[in-house]
Amino acid sequence: MTGPDVQTSQASTGQLIAQATEDVSTLIRNEIQLAKKDLAASGKRLGVGAGLFGVAGTLALYGLGALVAAGILGIAEALDAWLAALIVGGGLFVLAGLAALIGKMRVSKVAEAPRERVESVKADVAAARHGATS
């Protein structure tokens, strides 16, 4: 207790209420400070985890580049190097195009769902109006 040291048996009701209010305020302030410390620690862990995901993605990208180079070098054993690079590059563009088409189809399916829901709600409203006028 941070207020005057009042014995509860001799304190008036007003003094007890004031002391209880002060104690609750102190308790709330302390809880907020603990919550801030917990959030700071969680934020730090989240930041480190996100940074490590970034490092993993970068290393995976370099690994993919090395595999592409290995594919070019492997094909270059049978063909000219420029032709091997052209074949691998073309294959990568085909894969990128397929991924873009599949992604576009999935995004367009997501966009259709709200339209269906809007039509359903309009039908419900119309039915409610029709029922209310009957």
Tell me: the pLDDT tens digits for 24-66?
Answer: 888 888 888 888 888 888 888 888 889 999 999 999 999 999 9
**pLDDT value at residue 2:** 47
Evaluate if residue 20 carries a pLDDT over 90: no
**pLDDT value at residue 42:** 83
Secondary structure (3-state) at 63: helix
**Paired tokens of 59:** 């290393």
Asked if 19 and 11 count as a contact pair (C-beta separation under 8 A), the reply is: yes
Cα–Cα distance measured from residue 59 to residue 48, given in angstroms and rounded to the nearest whole number: 16
Range list of β-strands (E), the chain? none
- Residue reference for tokens 């109006």: 129
Question: How many Å separate Cα 46 from the centre of its chain?
Answer: 11
The rounded percent of the chain whose pLDDT value lies above 70 is 86
Average pLDDT, the chain: 84
What's the residue count for the chain?
Answer: 134
Asked if 84 and 76 count as a contact pair (C-beta separation under 8 A), the reply is: yes
**pLDDT value at residue 5:** 54
- pTM, full prediction: 0.50
